[in-house]
Amino acid sequence: MRKKIVAGNWKMNTTVAAGKELAKDIVAALGKVPKDVQLIIAPPFTHLAPVADVIKGSAVALSAQNCADKAKGAFTGEVSAEMIAGVGCTYTILGHSERRQYYGETSDTLVAKMALALENGLSPIYCVGEMLSEREAGNHFNVIKAQLEEVLFGLSAEQMAKVVIAYEPVWAIGTGVTATSEQAQEVHAFIRKTLAAKFGDLAKDITILYGGSCKPSNAKELFACPDIDGGLIGGASLKADDFIAIAQSY
């Protein structure tokens, strides 16, 4: 049985004080969330240690939004997977489209990040997704296939079992435009089929999240799809009520 996950990607939002409040509100509302739904929050690096204190002992898990592609040393401004794990994270987002688009992240960098995250006991939430132009050109399946193959196909089955996938069509991120549940399900099924070709039955156990303008009003329909196992939530994860309402959509 694969895990159901609702993860909040806070991106570069909130101060530490506001982030602690948000985490506190989420913990306080946990009783309203179905027990089999794993909540994850991914605050900015500066917030990880203080937020870890707030969620300590609760069922909320902590994630980073990225990690360095090097283990340690003279890499000014970078934060390593070991450091992230050391403050209590059990997950890290990798390959978010904003990292690929604005910070030049390539599959090669992501292979290195993936290896370091896994070595340090983190479960990577690996993001894939096509740009609008790629969908309009009918090329989205090829783009997603390449993103999966280039970064995940070198992993062992044991490593792959720790990875969570997030399908985030770039045209749906922060735009208010959500993929229809049919569009999302079609890609999720394709992702599972692509993973099955390499990893066999393990693909059935891989959690695949949908991300891109997911909100309380559309989460129910999306999560009802057979291959959608939860959501990676940006904007709507910054309000505890909305985030919890999305988790209640199961």
Positions touching ligand PGA (CB under 6 A) are 9, 168, 173-174, 211-214, 232-236
Residue where the block lists tokens 């990225």: 66
Interatomic CA distance for residues 244 and 250, integer angstroms: 11
Complex with ligand PGA: residue 64 or 199, whichever CB lies closer: 64
Would you call 96 a catalytic residue per the annotation? yes
- Token pair of 209 as six digits: 């999240």
Under 8 Å CB-to-CB from 178, ≥6 apart: which residues? 172, 212, 213, 214, 215, 218, 222
- Give per-residue burial for 146-158: e unless 16+ CB within 10 Å, then b: ebbeebbeebeee
Complex with ligand PGA: residue 173 or 208, whichever CB lies closer: 173
Complex with ligand PGA: residue 163 or 199, whichever CB lies closer: 163
Interatomic CA distance for residues 54 and 197, integer angstroms: 42
Point out the catalytic residue in the list 47, 98, 168, 188: 168
CB of 30 to ligand PGA, least distance (A): 21
Would you call 168 a catalytic residue per the annotation? yes
Complex with ligand PGA: residue 151 or 199, whichever CB lies closer: 151
- Give per-residue burial for 49-87: e unless 16+ CB within 10 Å, then b: eebeebbeeeebbbbbbbbbbeeeeeeeeebbbbbbbeb
- Just list the catalytic residues: 96, 168
